[in-house]
Amino acid sequence: MVDWRREVCNFLDMSDTCTDQDIREQLELASERLSEYESLKRLAFAKQGPPRVQVINKVECQRNKAERGLYLDTPWVVESGPQQAHLRCSRVIDNLELYLERNKEITCIIYRDYSCCGLSPLIRNSDHPEAIHGVVASSLRVSEHVSIVSDELRMAWETLIANDVDPAEDITHPEKRKHDNQDTQHPYLWWFHHRQNVKLWSSVLDRESQKQIQVFQSYLEESLGDEWAKVDELLSSAKVTTQYLDYVFAPGQIVISRLEGPTVAQSKAYTTTSWPRFRSVEVSHWKFDGNFQRFFDSIKISPPSTTTGEYPINSMSVYPMQYATEDVVLALRERGKTFWKCRHRNYVCVLGTSDDHLYDAYSGSRFMIDTATYKQMHPPANNQPPSLPYHDELGPELMSQDDPPAKLGDSFIMCLPTSLNGFNMQKKEWVKLEVAYFREVEWNEEAFDLLVMEPKTKELVEAVVTNHIDDDRNTDVIHGKGNGLFILLHGGPGTGKTLTAESVAEITKKPLYRVTCGDIGTKAEEVERYLEVVLLLGKTWGCVVLLDEADVFLEQRKLDNLDRNALVSVFLRVLEYYDGILILTSNRVGIFDEAFKSRIQLNLRYENLGQPQRRQIWENFINRLERLESERLRQIGNQTLTGVMGGPQSAPRFGVDIASIRQQIDELAKPALNGREIRNTISTARQLATFRKQKLAYEHLEACIAESHKFEQYIKSLKRGFSADQIKSDQQER
């Protein structure tokens, strides 16, 4: 409980042992003094007149530093000095403190700084009536700022400034927004951008404070009213001139920068944290290395290099988001959402555009976006200290959300980096990619249905890959062993082995990591290191690993070839503890080492294609050509379509005569072509039709098959009439 008697005594500077009568007398005396003070204050205000703003001109001669001073009158130009343009004034202020003491009604001083007789070239305007040698005094003004004199105005001023606080700013920025004195510096950008708000914020002030704020606003309207009106007119039409460039920017804006490239994909967004100063503005943006951290920078703002007069604001290399087109804003927001989906790990497809030659090589390719794995695989060089990880400014709770943090708004989602490192699953290399080109992977589950394979065999393959035993349910005695699914696909070339592996990846919706002998090498140490990396990535990313043409690693061990034995042993040891899906293909299964037989869970034999199988493959390709032709006719373009099946990926330029090809499908199925040869025949026939400027038709396919048959007959004659299958069978390899 508060001891009010003691509190009153302390306020009156009395001992708490005094009597109540003493306290009452002192309270009456204090009340009389307060009334007297209020009367004197009202009398003083009545004598000093209404509050006003005083303009004081500070003039300095660069040639003679002694010629400097404060003046009440506006300076004028006289013919003197090295440039025949010297400033003079007459009403000097010798003692500023005394002047203010005698003029209590002054609430603030507008200081206008002038400089003459310097080395800088002068701006001359001979047409001005007050010009001396083409020089007007106003052209020698170098700056202007306001200095607050009245305590009431200072408190009211601070109250208004304090209202300019964005609630979200406390979340995204550890410091308060910088105003850079733009509330006190000409052209008073803070007041320009908050004109409407000031009226609302002033309503909570007392009458005297409101009056003093209105006095300063009246000065602004008088001195800058015409300029502000011109700026309003320009901004309303989304245009500006170089003279008024600073008016475009303010703290808290989202600005779009094309400094790193002209396309939307290369455009970066920032949040401004300051007013413009010397044609630059301080900004914040986000960086990512597995953690999100906010960084601060400064970017240049400048008009278009080839533009004079008025120009669209969004033609500048850096401009506020409010002047961007709706498509640009939407694209940047979508890019931010895509980036958020990739913060942990994401498998994406990259689609380039026809005017972006850098993405021609990657368009349609699939990439694994995994920043943590990228950092692990790219440690700092030995001569470089390890870089510190970014500070996690979001925290695990926000990072675990499916959607970007709503409370951070556009200052987060639009201001994320433009690129991420992705692993190209086809070329097996890390590439820096523009996030704007990321798309969700469209899994081609139809590819498995189009496999030309016995229905029972197809069912078995689908069963084992979709019900792969995971680590928690493994049946091996030793933990970590026996969890992998190893499938061996063996048979002649072009019988569908690789397509089966690709289709398995599609129906399981897993990335396909394809490895060949050329990737791995042939030395045991190299093979072990490479396979460990591949299988680690395969496990981390949940890949289907395809070891194509695996004969060199599976060949039977012999006593006289220690290098071969070491290679096979390494391969066996590494595979023993892999718990993912591994598919091996071979056309020389007869040379396999016996130890592999027990490690292969499923063996599939691919016979050479018979006429019914070839007919089905031709049918599949014809159906695909028909879809591509329909797409071509619908869009009238050269739209690229992608898929895991080989063959033509875009409609032939001059169209396809589907009817003529389909009528001859039985004739097409008669030549003993394998699946790859059928695909190559269609590709070659397309090129022939394009060269002749004709629709792709049966005659083009027939011509290509005839030439291929000549080559096959020649090869067969060299081998004395034996086919490749017969030779491999005699060698006990197939």
Amino acid in the structure at residue 323: Y
Instruction: Please tell me the predicted confidence (pLDDT) of residue 584.
Output: 87
Q: Please write the tens of the pLDDT for every residue from 683-708.
A: 999 999 889 888 888 998 999 999 88
Q: Cα dist. 729→588, 589, 732 in Å?
A: 9, 11, 5
Q: Is the pLDDT of residue 649 over 60?
A: no
Instruction: Please tell me the predicted confidence (pLDDT) of residue 127.
Output: 62
Give the mean pLDDT of 76-80. 86
- 293: which 2 tokens? 């951290």
Q: Please write the tens of the pLDDT for every residue from 57-75.
A: 999 998 887 788 999 999 9
**Inter-residue contact 514 to 538 (CB < 8 Å):** no
Instruction: Please tell me the predicted confidence (pLDDT) of residue 454.
Output: 85
Q: 338 exposed, middle or buried (CB, 10 Å; 0-12, 13-18, 19+)?
A: buried
Give φ, ψ of 691 to 5 degrees: -60, -40
Supply the angle between the helices 562-576 and 524-541 in degrees, to the nearest 10. Answer: 20
> In the structure, what pLDDT confidence band is assigned to residue 264 with cuts at 50, 70 and 90?
confident
Instruction: Please tell me the predicted confidence (pLDDT) of residue 173.
Output: 41
| More confident site: 539 or 629 | 539
The CA angle 314-318-321, to the nearest 5 degrees, is 60
Instruction: Please tell me the predicted confidence (pLDDT) of residue 559.
Output: 61
Give the mean pLDDT of 485-514. 88
Percent of the chain whose predicted confidence (pLDDT) is above 90: 29
Amino acid in the structure at residue 703: A
Among 77-86, 166-175, 313-322, 470-479, whose mean pLDDT is lowest? 166-175
> Which H or E run contains 169?
helix 169-172
Q: Please write the tens of the pLDDT for every residue from 144-179.
A: 999 999 988 898 888 888 877 544 444 334 334 444
Average pLDDT of the chain? 82
Instruction: Please tell me the predicted confidence (pLDDT) of residue 590.
Output: 65
Plot region of 364 (φ>0 → left; ψ -120 to 50 → alpha; else → beta): left
Instruction: Please tell me the predicted confidence (pLDDT) of residue 471.
Output: 44
- Delineate the domains of the chain, giving CATH numbers in brackets: 4-45 (no CATH), 49-149 (no CATH), 446-606 (3.40.50.300), 611-729 (no CATH)
**Inter-residue contact 215 to 182 (CB < 8 Å):** no
Q: Which residues contact 470 (CB under 8 A, 6 or more apart)?
A: 483, 579
Nearest-angstrom CA–CA distance, 679 and 649? 11
Nearest-angstrom CA–CA distance, 324 and 573? 59
> In the structure, what pLDDT confidence band is assigned to residue 493 with cuts at 50, 70 and 90?
confident
Supply the angle between the helices 675-692 and 611-635 in degrees, to the nearest 10. Answer: 40
Nearest-angstrom CA–CA distance, 114 and 128? 19
